[in-house]
Structure 1
Amino acid sequence: MTQNLDRLSALPLRDSLRGRTPYGAPQLDVAVALNTNENTHPVPEDVHAAIVAEVTEAARTLNRYPDREFNALREELARYLGHGLRAEHLWAANGSNEILQQLLQAFGGPGRRLLTFVPTYSMYPLLAAGTDTEFVAGERTADFGLDAASAAEQVRRHRPDVVFLCSPNNPTGTALGLDVVRAVYEATEDHRALVVVDEAYAEFAHAGTASALSLLEGRPRLVVSRTMSKAFALAGARLGYFAAAPEVADAVRLVRLPYHLSAVTQATALAALRHSASLLANVEDIKAQRDRIVAGLQELGLRPAVSDSNFVFFGGMADSRTVWEALLARGVLVRDVGIPGHLRVTAGTEAETTAFLEALAGVVAEGAGTPSHA
């Protein structure tokens, strides 16, 4: 590894990338992997069959470039989202990370700045660095919350060109109120910043939690980003998308690579969207396991955050790294997000949730990394 770093430093790398490390969660061979917020439920049989059929048909013409505008897919995405959206309001790419990267390529860049509120998704600063966009880390409250007045004040103070709002937030799992989105958008009126609400986990939110999709009308600089990796169990397919005013998609067309969305990816996503009922049925089970984790953590004397996502962020540990290692020794991998005293666990299947809770109960009973009152 040291030799690789030495060779890297000898290359004419951009100064803004020197000393940085790539994004990546541990990929370890364990019995229960609950560290990357994947949908741990397999693709349902009817959806699998539909994807195979759609991809088989697409394979007949792989000698040709795919539909550059992925028109059929955009129509299905608009139909799925509702809110009066039409195909021209939708854009898709290879995962929501590429969506966010394209937005920064179009609206960020040298001499421009991205504001978000930490702790939040750890890819944001990497995407900023990759596009030579200055990254500004806004502040949250001590309990990792964000209120409208504070968010708006920070926007007015920093005057960013782009704002990322993660809702539900990763790693904390909590959804933002629409008052925060409205306040941030209004605070950008004088300098015309783009406001992006990253709703990667929106389908897992508690009933009654409003989506920023409801705010799109009349707000041409508001973008709502989604993914099919989580609720649709398509992490391996890499399909993200956004909804916004048509002119935002026009702006992204200026930076997208030619034919960036493969025919196979389009076929897979189309089949999944046309069988969304089967896929989203698993979402309810995942939400039940998430709520079961919250209750179990509380019983163990730990402090889980309210979660509108498919994972649970929890504190109450004197030494979270020791707890992480003790769980790993028991065959359970969760995520150390680098926040002292806190860890994050994905809501898995019923069996995986049971394995996690039983392993953690053992760790707490031994007192490894947990305070005596836990």
Structure 2
Amino acid sequence: MVEMKQYMRKSLNDVPKLKIFEFSNYASQFDNVIKFTIGEPDFKTPEYIKDAAIKSIKNNRTHYAPQRGTAGLLKAVANFLAQNYDLHYNPQTEILITNGVTEGVYSAITAITNPGDVILVPTPTFSIYSPDAVIAGGTAVEVDTSKTDFKLTPELLKSYLDKYGDRVKGVVFVNPSNPTGIAYTQEELDALAKLIKGKPIFAISDEIYSELIYDGGYASMARALPEQTILTNGLSKSYAMTGWRIGYLCAPEAITNEIFKVHSFVMTDVATFTQDAAEAALKGGTAATKKMDEKYIQRRDYMKKRLAAMGFDCSRPMGAFYIFAKIPDFLEQDDTKLVYDLVKNARVAVTAGSYFGKGGNGYLRFSYATSMDQIKEGMDRLEQYVNQARQ
């Protein structure tokens, strides 16, 4: 028998599994586990958005949609960005509706990457960017930001630009960050933009948590360097629409047209009725998001206080819904071993920091996108585990 796997694309050997979801599935086999793993809002999609989808289906909006997106949603995205972020894109030529941010990022990185190109990926970060670069035939280079408060600094970026020179094709920015919740200021992004301005380097800016900023204001590479920035965003987190798979990508027309070539073959289209629902969401404003944000802030502050009292050194999340905590010296320092032990012996599931790249080694990510009752119970269980480890 011929082993056909050996004749498949060799670069796939370097593509890791999504350990975040793999571990979360493992934890689900245990009874009565409190899960702080997956970053999914526990809130329900607002009723007016669901009503819009139902109305769309009843009106037989169930056929193919335009591949770039429906005219209504494209215009709604353009208006939302202009009114809320002072970002201006032509809805007909500079915006694509994507199957979530995941597909948008994949299409963007695939479109810009040639064999041998380097994509710089500051870590810790969510684990899609490096594999996308590898699949595209490029090289993903992780930039460890654990020594610079989990932010890419001009000095750090310059050192990598000097090292890899003309091979650098793109730099990933996730703002606010998953897993740390850290957010850049506009001044910080402006300083970074100066280093790549006028060079053949793209800024891939993932802003899926842009509506979940609690401290400080909105900041974007699209403001600092619009001519070189590929902006991706979506409604999964801000409107509790993870399962709807609605995202969008924005860039100058010439860049968008090239990305569309990848997008159009990856996706026939995004379902029309889900686009109608997304249009309604954006037209409805941010009132629903603000109510969720109020709950997230309460959860963040409570969880951070409890973790600090147990001896965890925590980042202060400025956005998103995660706390990134340094493992105390008296606990197992291998974060992977620790999370498996926690779920078995404390019935608490958290995510190992190393799943987010080298910059996450020795940390744990706690998601507070769950109810306060669950958070309190989970913190009580963790405290009992910690106290036993201290003895």
How high is the TM-score relative to the length of structure 1? 0.86
> Which of 320, 341, 361 is equivalent to 1:325?
341
1:298 aligns with 2:308: yes
- Structure 2 CA distance for aligned equivalents of residues 245 and 328 of structure 1: 50
- Residue range with higher mean Cα deviation, 241-250 or 307-316: 241-250
SS of alignment partner, residue 202 of structure 1 = coil
Residues 172, 313 of structure 1: 8 Å contact kept: yes
- 2:357 is matched with none
- 2:52 is matched with 50
Residues 346, 382 of structure 2: 8 Å contact kept: no
> Which of 198, 204, 212 is equivalent to 2:220?
212
CA apart distance, 1:303? 1.0
CA-to-aligned-CA distance 1:171-202 (integer Å, 9 cap, x gap): 22211233443233322235321112222222
> Which of 172, 186, 201 is equivalent to 2:209?
201
CA apart distance, 1:47? 3.3
1:344 aligns with 2:360: no
Q: Structure 1's 133 and 265: CA in aligned 2 closer, same or farther, altered over 3 A?
A: farther
- 1:173 is matched with 181
- Structure 2 CA distance for aligned equivalents of residues 155 and 34 of structure 1: 36
CA RMSD of the aligned region, Å?
Answer: 2.6
1:150 is aligned with what amino acid? Answer: L
Q: Structure 1's 54 and 292: CA in aligned 2 closer, same or farther, altered over 3 A?
A: farther
1:210 is aligned with what amino acid? Answer: Y
> Which of 80, 85, 88 is equivalent to 1:85?
88
SS of alignment partner, residue 78 of structure 1 = helix
CA apart distance, 1:209? 2.9
Task: Map residues 345-364 of structure 1 onto 2, 5 A cutoff.
Answer: 345-347=366-368, 348-364=370-386
- Structure 2 CA distance for aligned equivalents of residues 9 and 337 of structure 1: 35
Percent same amino acid among aligned pairs?
19
Q: Structure 1's 9 and 361: CA in aligned 2 closer, same or farther, altered over 3 A?
A: farther
Q: Structure 1's 316 and 65: CA in aligned 2 closer, same or farther, altered over 3 A?
A: closer
> Which of 17, 21, 28 is equivalent to 1:22?
17
List alignment gaps of at least 5 residues for structure 1. Answer: 1-5
Residues 152, 183 of structure 1: 8 Å contact kept: no
- Residue range with higher mean Cα deviation, 94-103 or 287-296: 287-296
2:311 is aligned with what amino acid? Answer: G
- Residue range with higher mean Cα deviation, 33-42 or 168-177: 168-177
- Residue range with higher mean Cα deviation, 170-179 or 296-305: 170-179
- Structure 1 CA distance for aligned equivalents of residues 146 and 322 of structure 2: 21
- 1:260 is matched with 269
- Structure 1 CA distance for aligned equivalents of residues 38 and 307 of structure 2: 19
CA apart distance, 1:42? 1.8
CA apart distance, 1:313? 0.7
- Residue range with higher mean Cα deviation, 291-300 or 179-188: 179-188
Residues 87, 222 of structure 2: 8 Å contact kept: no
Task: Map residues 1-374 of structure 1 onto 2, 5 A cutoff.
Answer: 10-18=5-13, 20-24=15-19, 25=21, 26-27=24-25, 28-29=27-28, 31-57=33-59, 60-62=60-62, 64-70=63-69, 71-82=71-82, 83-86=86-89, 87=91, 88-142=93-147, 143-159=149-165, 160-212=168-220, 215=223, 219-257=226-264, 259-276=268-285, 277-307=287-317, 308-317=319-328, 318-319=331-332, 320=335, 321-322=337-338, 325-327=341-343, 329-338=345-354, 339-347=360-368, 348-367=370-389
1:363 is aligned with what amino acid? Answer: Y
- Structure 2 CA distance for aligned equivalents of residues 55 and 10 of structure 1: 42
1:260 is aligned with what amino acid? Answer: D
Aligned length: 360
- Residue range with higher mean Cα deviation, 6-15 or 310-319: 6-15
SS of alignment partner, residue 68 of structure 1 = coil
Residues 76, 270 of structure 1: 8 Å contact kept: yes
List alignment gaps of at least 5 residues for structure 2. Answer: 355-359
More helix by share: 2
- Residue range with higher mean Cα deviation, 240-249 or 161-170: 240-249
Residues 234, 248 of structure 2: 8 Å contact kept: yes
CA apart distance, 1:206? 2.2
- Structure 1 CA distance for aligned equivalents of residues 233 and 221 of structure 2: 10
CA-to-aligned-CA distance 1:49-85 (integer Å, 9 cap, x gap): 333223433xx143x4212232211111122222152
Q: Structure 1's 20 and 155: CA in aligned 2 closer, same or farther, altered over 3 A?
A: same
Residues 324, 336 of structure 1: 8 Å contact kept: no
1:239 is aligned with what amino acid? Answer: I
Residues 227, 240 of structure 1: 8 Å contact kept: yes
SS of alignment partner, residue 161 of structure 1 = strand
Q: Structure 1's 269 and 37: CA in aligned 2 closer, same or farther, altered over 3 A?
A: same
- Structure 1 CA distance for aligned equivalents of residues 66 and 290 of structure 2: 27
SS of alignment partner, residue 252 of structure 1 = helix
